[in-house]
Amino acid sequence: MNAGARIGLYLAALVLVFGAAFGIARAVVPQSVVTDWQQRSEPMVTHTETDSPAAPTTHPTSH
């Protein structure tokens, strides 16, 4: 079997495995769990931007 055929079979197997996993998860995991997880994972915007960048660090140059 040549390399192209092996890669094609590998990709086809990946599609089947991930498709099966998605289908099983969709059938087994309740929608309420998904909704709760999505609500908890929403990003919290708590950072603020400073008006000026930090001062550059200078090092003494003594030789």
Please state whether the predicted TM-score (pTM) of the whole model is above 0.85: no
Structure tokens at 43: 């990003």
Amino acid identity for residue 36 in this structure: D
**Given this model, what pLDDT does residue 31 score?**
93
Q: How many CA atoms lie within 13 A of 8 on its CB side?
A: 5
How confident is the prediction along the chain (63 residues), in pLDDT tens digits per residue? 899 999 999 999 999 999 999 999 999 999 999 899 888 887 766 666 665 556 666 766 766
Structure tokens at 15: 């599609």
